[in-house]
C-alpha cells in the first residue's frame, strides 16, 4: 500500500512538472513609448522614448511584471520603475492582457535644475500578436498616476514593440 501511494504521489508531481513545461515561462519586451505627461497639473507635454518589460509566469494566466521606461521631451525626462501582476489569456495567435503596477517615477526638468521622485501606480492592458515561433508584437495602453512636485499627474502611455517568449 505504501508503494502504491508513493507511486501515485510521484506520478502526480511528475505530471504537474510536465504540464508546466508546455507554457512559456515568461517573456521580454522592448519597444517605443509615447507618454502624454502632466508634469505640472493641467499642462500636458508629449514625451517619446523606450519601454522594456520582463514577465515571469506564476501560472499560465498570471505573471509578475517588471516595467522600466524612459521618455524624453524638450528639457524634460521621466523614468518609471513599475512592477506587479498581469493577467493574460492565449487565444490562437492573440494574447490580450491587463495589469496593475506600482513603483516609482522620477522626473528631471531643465537638465537637473529640478528633479523629483514619487510613488507611481499604473493600470492598463494590451495585446500581443504572435508572429512566428517565440516572437510577437505588442501594443499597450496604460494610465500612470504619479505625484511629482507635489502635484497629481495622470499620464497616458502608449507602447509598441517586440516580445520574445522564453
Residue 153's CATH number:
2.40.160.20
Nearest C-alpha neighbor of 71 from the set 33, 109, 106, 112:
33
pLDDT at 43: 74
Q: Is pLDDT larger for residue 149 or for residue 128?
A: 128
> What is the average pLDDT across 37-41?
76
- Residue 78 sits at the vertex; the CA angle it makes with 161 and 135, to the nearest 5 degrees, is 15
pLDDT at 20 over 50: no
Is residue 92 within 8 A of residue 66, CB to CB? The reply is no
For residues 37-50, average pLDDT = 84
Using one digit for the tens of pLDDT, what is the confidence trace for 102-137? 999 999 998 888 999 999 999 999 999 999 999 999
Instruction: Give the span between the Cα atoms of 38 and 45, in whole angstroms.
Output: 6
Query: 145 in a domain, yes or no?
Result: yes
Owning domain of residue 72: 24-165
Number of domains in the chain: 1
pLDDT tens, position by position, 70-96: 999 988 999 999 999 999 999 999 999
All residues at 6 or more sequence positions from 18 whose CB lies less than 8 Å from its CB, including other chains: none
Residue 17: inside a domain, yes or no? no
In a domain, 15, yes or no: no
Q: What is the percent of the chain where pLDDT is above 70?
A: 84
In which element (H, E) is residue 56 found?
strand 43-59
Q: How far, CA to CA in Å, does 128 sit from each of 38, 63, 86, 143? A: 28, 14, 13, 18
For residue 1, is it within any domain? no
Mean pLDDT of the chain: 89
| Residues 17-42, mean pLDDT to the nearest whole number | 78
User: CA–CA separation, 82 vs 154, rounded Å?
Assistant: 15
Place of cell 521622485: 117
Amino acid at each position: 500500500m505504501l508503494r502504491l501511494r508513493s507511486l501515485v504521489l510521484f506520478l502526480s508531481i511528475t505530471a504537474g512538472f510536465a504540464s508546466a513545461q508546455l507554457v512559456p515561462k515568461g517573456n521580454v519586451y522592448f519597444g517605443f513609448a509615447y507618454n502624454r505627461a502632466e508634469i505640472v497639473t493641467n499642462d500636458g507635454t508629449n514625451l517619446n522614448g523606450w519601454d522594456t518589460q520582463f514577465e515571469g509566469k506564476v501560472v499560465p494566466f498570471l505573471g509578475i511584471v517588471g516595467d522600466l521606461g524612459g521618455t524624453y521631451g524638450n528639457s524634460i525626462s521621466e523614468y518609471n520603475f513599475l512592477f506587479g501582476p498581469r493577467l493574460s489569456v492565449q487565444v490562437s495567435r492573440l494574447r490580450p492582457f491587463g495589469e496593475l503596477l506600482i513603483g516609482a517615477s522620477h522626473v528631471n526638468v531643465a537638465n537637473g535644475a529640478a528633479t523629483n521622485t514619487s510613488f507611481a501606480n499604473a493600470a492598463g492592458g494590451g495585446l500581443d500578436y504572435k508572429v512566428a515561433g517565440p516572437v510577437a508584437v505588442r501594443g499597450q495602453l496604460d494610465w500612470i498616476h504619479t505625484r511629482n512636485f507635489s502635484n497629481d499627474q495622470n499620464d497616458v502611455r502608449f507602447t509598441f514593440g517586440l516580445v520574445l517568449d522564453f
